[in-house]
Structure 1
Amino acid sequence: MEDKLNNIKREYKNIIIPKELDQMVDKTIQKADKDVRNPKIRFGRGLKVAVAALAVCSMFVLAINTNESLAKSIANVPVLGKVAEVLTFVDYERETDTITENVTIPEVDGLNDKDIQDKINKEIQAKMDEQIKEAEIRAEEYKEAYFATGGTEENYNPIEFKLDYEKKYSDDSILSFIIYHHETLAPAYAETYYYNIDLNTNEELTLEDVLGEDYINRANESVRKQIEELKANPSEDRHYGFFEGEAGFTSISEDQGFYINSDKKVVVVFNKYEIADGATGPLEFVIE
């Protein structure tokens, strides 16, 4: 145990803290110090302590999320293991004469069952490798078709392909994140994968797990209500062109995409063109 803590200490000391973070912390502490001296603002001496603690916490979170070896070291310490249940990742950029790839592939770390963890990570890697390969094939075909139909070299642009992930929610019991990719060739090739993991059982959560046995009716009722509200009160900032009848929303699907948001609520997601026109884009509904 002591050796592990010493290793973590060494890892932490070797982390290069961005200058921007130092400046932000200094400004925050200076402001707090000024506010404490201001007779119109009576926060008490505890404020400076709180600000300092917040700065330390921010640096610790930054360290975990930017240093993979530190995150893994913390995950191996029983007392600190839960803090380290974060996503680690590798990323790269690659350019050829047909495609520009900007790829970030996540990896799940910290599950109690390493076999399941490896299975999830291998599944993620396999899916993403497949998407990258298919995008490269499309890019080659596009280039051939472009020049075959009279396209010129000066007007030709390689396809841009982006693959990334976003962590939606994480605590000591749930890890929720999405992986998405899109490319400039056509919106139809955009796709999102949803991962919601129960950290107690190391299994993927289903909508029934989080919403209960009546999850279909509960989700449908909530989505319908929100759609009607959006129709009745059109937004000036966003277009909503919902399809009507069978082409529109009828029910969530068996493999409905969803994630857990920062309020620990279920958010169901519909892809572009799924229940509304292309100008509407993807749609998300929080299930109350």
Structure 2
Amino acid sequence: MKNLQDAKKKYEEVEIPMELNNIVKNSIKEAKRKQKRRKPVKQWGIGLAAAAALFITSVNVSPALAQSLSSVPMLGSIVQVVTVQEIKIAEDNFNADISTPNVTGLENKELEQMLNDKYIAENEALYDNFQKKMEEMKAAGGGNYAVNADYEVLTDTDSLLVIQNRNLEIMASGSESATYDNIDKEHELYITLPSLFKDDSYVQVISAYIKEEMKKQMANEEVVYFLEEDGDGFASILPDQQFYITADNKLIISFDEYEVAPGYMGMVTFEIPTEVIRDILISDYYIK
């Protein structure tokens, strides 16, 4: 309870521009909602055969990893992202390489804990699913299966931090997906797509632009997109579509592999021109 009170006090003491009031309220609400949904993280169970080459390394037990972390650049003045755990499995035709990030240095410990718990829970679920599929495939006579999970800091400025978490699953074919965490380092807020806009009209505005951009690209380049008029194709972004903000304050909308295009195109992204959305933005604080 004391931690929650301290976090609330820090929110109240931070001087925030008036134009960010709605963003602040939405971000606090989102953080608290996710905090309530968070479940205790259990110890990962490792039930592999002795022949498996399984390596779990962490900052606490691996001097080599700890040494490599010393070269990770500081994000802003205090915020840092490091690899807190790595899991590597190599057994016959089954492979897993899972890296879990950890954010440190935020004064808003509630936000920091929310992010780190999310990263652990996501990779725990990924590992559990890998283990389950591997055992099922072994029981059925074998096969090939691999998963890879890693992360990358896409944006690192005085005010913004964007972490991309990328997953690749390979069986008969590959499937790549990504999620993004956009963080206001200056005010220590979690930025959601809806929090950037005055109302939900952004869904239609951005979707209309992307549809036209898809058509232009297909007319001028050797690319293919799944369009709504061609059948079961792209109709609209989701209200919480994956996105990130670049270092030069541009909005990028991201789609997973196969979501709007054939697999050979991989994940696809669209930069949304600021003039297209300027009138519906809450402010130009994040998107310029």
TM-score by length of 2: 0.62
Paired position in structure 1 for 2:183: 197
AA in 2 matched with 1:133: D
Structure with the higher fraction of residues in helix conformation: 1
Question: What SS is found at the alignment partner of 1:161?
Answer: strand
Paired position in structure 1 for 2:221: 234
In 1, Cα distance between equivalents of 2:91 and 2:184? 40
The answer to whether the Cα contact below 8 Å between 2:76 and 2:156 also exists between their aligned partners in 1 is no
Q: Which has the higher contact order (CA 8 A, sep 6+)?
A: 2
Paired position in structure 1 for 2:171: 185
Structure with the higher fraction of residues in strand conformation: 2
Shift in CA distance, 66/217, structure 1 to aligned 2, threshold 3 Å: farther
Q: After TM superposition, give the deviation of residue 189 of structure 1 in Å.
A: 5.9
Identify the match of residue 110 of structure 1 among 98, 105, 113. Answer: 105
Paired position in structure 1 for 2:244: 259
Is there any run of 5+ residues in structure 2 with no aligned partner, and where? 1-65, 274-288
Q: After TM superposition, give the deviation of residue 173 of structure 1 in Å.
A: 1.8
Paired position in structure 1 for 2:204: 217
AA in 2 matched with 1:166: E
TM-score by length of 1: 0.62
The answer to whether the Cα contact below 8 Å between 1:98 and 1:143 also exists between their aligned partners in 2 is no
Moved over 4 A (4+): 65-71, 186-190
- Counterpart mapping for 1:124-163 below 5 A: 124-147=119-142, 158-163=144-149
Q: After TM superposition, give the deviation of residue 187 of structure 1 in Å.
A: 5.1
AA in 2 matched with 1:280: M
Is there any run of 5+ residues in structure 1 with no aligned partner, and where? 1-64, 76-80, 148-155
- How many corresponding residue pairs? 205
AA in 2 matched with 1:89: T
Q: After TM superposition, give the deviation of residue 209 of structure 1 in Å.
A: 3.1
Q: After TM superposition, give the deviation of residue 211 of structure 1 in Å.
A: 5.0
The answer to whether the Cα contact below 8 Å between 1:207 and 1:215 also exists between their aligned partners in 2 is no
Identify the match of residue 271 of structure 1 among 243, 249, 256. Answer: 256
What is the aligned-residue identity percentage? 25
In 1, Cα distance between equivalents of 2:234 and 2:266? 14
Shift in CA distance, 186/287, structure 1 to aligned 2, threshold 3 Å: farther
AA in 1 matched with 2:114: K
In 1, Cα distance between equivalents of 2:137 and 2:268? 30
**RMSD over aligned Cα, in angstroms?**
2.9
